[in-house]
Amino acid sequence: MAQTLTASTSALPAEAVRPRTDSATIAAAGLYVAGAAYEEALRHPNRVATLDNMCDGLAEIAPEIARVLKTEASAEFAEALRAATVAPLWAFTAIERGRAEAGAGYGYLFDLLADSLRGGANPDIVRTTALGAPARIRELAEHAER
How confident is the model over 93-117, as a mean pLDDT?
97
Q: How many CA atoms lie within 13 A of 60 on its CB side?
A: 5
Which residues, at least 6 apart from 35, have a Cβ–Cβ distance to it below 8 Å?
Answer: 88, 92, 118
Whole-structure pTM value: 0.79
Q: pLDDT digit string (tens) for 40-89?
A: 999 999 999 999 999 999 888 777 766 776 666 677 777 888 889 999 99
pLDDT surpassing 50 at residue 1: no
DSSP 51: H
* pLDDT tens, residue by residue, 8-41: 444 545 555 455 558 888 899 899 999 999 999 9
Q: Where are the domains of the chain?
A: 22-145
